Amino acid sequence: MFTVKGKPFMPMGGQSKNSSAYNAEELASAIAGVMTLGGNTLEAPVYWDQVEKAEGEFDFSTVDMLLEECRKSNLHLIILWFATWKNGEMRYCPTWVKSDKKRFTRVLRSDGVPMNILSSYCEESLHADARAFQALMGHLKNNDSETQTVIAVQVENEPGILGCDRDYSPQANAALSGDVPSELLEHVKGLGEGHVWKALQKNGGKEQGSWNEVFSTSGGEFCTAWSIAKYIDHIAAEGRAVYNIPLYTNAWVSFPGWPIPGFYPAGGPVRTTLDIWKLATPHLDLIAPDIYNVNYTDYRIICEDYLRSDNPLFVPESGTDGLNARNMLRALADYNAIGYFCFGVDSILDMEGNLLEDNILFAESFRSVMSLLPLIQKYQGTGRIHAVVEEDYQMNQSFEFEKFIGAVPFINMGPTSDCKDHRHIRNPRLTEGRPKHGLIIEAGPHEFFLAGNFHLFMVPSSGPGWLDALKMSLIQTPVDYLSVEEGYLLDTGEFVPTRIRNGDESVFGSFWATPYCGVVRVILTP
């Protein structure tokens, strides 16, 4: 989906904290964080309250600052448009919007109390936001279309209604009592699966009726989702008419085991409403989940929900600890993520610019990914990208390759677990005690690329004696190799060797990688 000057591009990096994009001094720490990770892209907000302090008067100096600072560091930029919605509220609207509650109407709670959220049924809010977004896109076209520093724009941030299950304003109540739009009903009937289709079937598969008549208890949130999605799609369409670059919206996801609207922004693009959003937002390229869930059961469900034939997986926000690191590897290897970002990248370094201890594993994993990025792009979706992830209480992880079986041990295997290399013997702290992690790319039947921190043992996958070879792999070499090399990849995917391994450094069918030896290429004997 993402391109730079006509060529495919995979954005990887970090998102600045919410208040870090007001000036270059604040932004510097976020850029330093992305550079430390080896990333290629920064995500940073542009605030409606800053670019249109007075109605109809636009000031894009902060946008120009973002462009200039990213260009200095040779980084690309994804702009996050903080406007009607930021985390289910309206914190970044201009004061002239916030102070005029009659013109810019609010969401009402069930008891009639207005909330700090603009109503998606308010035409004045819609037109004001769309006008500002269109001006932003025009500015980007005029100042960046040749350089293409900006590769995408996120329209709003985690939209929805935080703290209430729906809007209870008179306009919202009237919409809820009205008929479900025929285009949506026909679309849902044809799905044959999914949360919205199941809600329709559960209530008798009605051909028409109000939202509650058709969808029962889900009617309120589905109606809210339809309204918010149409609102955002209108803004996207207005911007896209001026400058046609990728646009998306991100989601504050609902927890699979606790899907209660209001605990997350109700009506947002969550798993239960995603089918509605995809129909209502033809001017968005994708819906992207913010995933902070470290529990792999939940993480897998979220990835499976958002990876669809009409929606590639893109993760614009995640955490920066070791658990998030292993889920990042899974997203790239198992769910073909087309980009990945951590939130708060300006907070992974101390005041002296050193990585904080809690972020080392994430940074190492991220750098490993970046070292293999050209091959990740090449082999994505082929099943040839394998994530090495050490789970709690797991002794090893096995892999089935085309002609070989691989195993990565997570326990001490004695002498075979040692990195037989003077660089690591002198400084065992480089890898000592770290969970095993990384990627294996199967470039061909006999060619493998490794990056991360692990040992890969290999045996033939077929033929007499493979089981014996596996048993004997700790005391003799069950496979032979043509070469084992350290090096790096060019943007074209070409491997450039910088060091050859042989003898003691490649024995017992064990091929090892650490975060400090670059990419390892292994070519086995046919």
The predicted-structure confidence for 429-447, as pLDDT tens digits, reads as follows 555 667 899 999 999 999 9
Of the candidates 496, 512, 525, 495, the one whose C-alpha atom is nearest the C-alpha of residue 375 is 495
In the chain, the percentage of residues whose pLDDT exceeds 90 is: 79
In the chain, the percentage of residues whose pLDDT exceeds 70 is: 91
- CA distance to 15, 59, 74, 390, per residue, from 346 (Å): 8, 25, 17, 27
Per CATH, which fold does 3-109+116-164+223-371 belong to? TIM Barrel (3.20.20)
Of the candidates 53, 242, 222, 214, the one whose C-alpha atom is nearest the C-alpha of residue 135 is 242
Under the banding of pLDDT at 50, 70 and 90, the label for residue 475 is: very low
Crossing angle of the two packed helices 219-240 and 170-177, in degrees rounded to 10? 110
> Which range, of 209-223, 264-278, 510-524, averages the lowest pLDDT?
510-524
Under the banding of pLDDT at 50, 70 and 90, the label for residue 164 is: very high
Distance CA 52, CA 56 (A): 7
Q: Which residue stretches of 116-253 are H helix? A: 123-144, 170-177, 182-191, 195-202, 211-215, 219-240
Distance CA 199, CA 196 (A): 5
Domain boundaries, the chain: 3-109+116-164+223-371, 387-524
The C-alpha angle 131, 339, 392, rounded to 5 degrees, equals: 135
Region 293-302: what's the mean pLDDT?
Answer: 88
What is the model's pTM? 0.94
Q: Euclidean distance between the first and final Cα of the chain, in Å?
A: 37
- CA distance to 113, 172, 251, per residue, from 126 (Å): 22, 15, 20
Residue 427 has pLDDT above 60, yes or no: no
Distance CA 15, CA 34 (A): 8
Distance CA 382, CA 224 (A): 38
- CA distance to 361, 409, 456, per residue, from 406 (Å): 23, 10, 6
Of the candidates 149, 179, 156, 163, the one whose C-alpha atom is nearest the C-alpha of residue 76 is 149
Beta bridge mates, 524: 481
Distance CA 462, CA 489 (A): 31
Under the banding of pLDDT at 50, 70 and 90, the label for residue 366 is: very high
Residue 464 has pLDDT above 60, yes or no: no
303-357 tens-digit pLDDT = 999 999 999 999 999 999 988 999 999 999 999 999 999 999 999 999 999 999 9
* Total count of residues recorded for the chain: 526
Q: What is the CATH number of domain 387-524?
A: 2.60.220.20
Exposed, middle or buried, 497 (CB in 10 Å: 0-12/13-18/19+)?
Answer: middle
Under the banding of pLDDT at 50, 70 and 90, the label for residue 422 is: low
Strands 7-8 and 495-501, bridge-based pairing? unpaired
Give every CB contact of residue 172 below 8 A, 6+ residues apart in sequence. 107, 108, 119, 121, 166, 223, 224, 227
Distance CA 343, CA 42 (A): 10
Distance CA 300, CA 306 (A): 10
| Side-chain half-sphere exposure of 157, counting CA atoms within 13 A | 23
- CA distance to 45, 55, 260, 268, per residue, from 155 (Å): 10, 20, 24, 13
Of the candidates 366, 357, 496, 524, the one whose C-alpha atom is nearest the C-alpha of residue 439 is 366
Strands 396-400 and 519-524, bridge-based pairing? unpaired
Evaluate whether 511 touches 522 at the Cβ level (below 8 Å): yes
Distance of CA 59 to the CA centre of its chain: 30
SS3 304: helix
- C-beta atoms surrounding 307 within 10 Å: 18
Supply the DSSP string of 172-193, one letter for each residue.
Answer: HHHHHHSBPPHHHHHHHHHH-S
**Residue 229 identity:** A
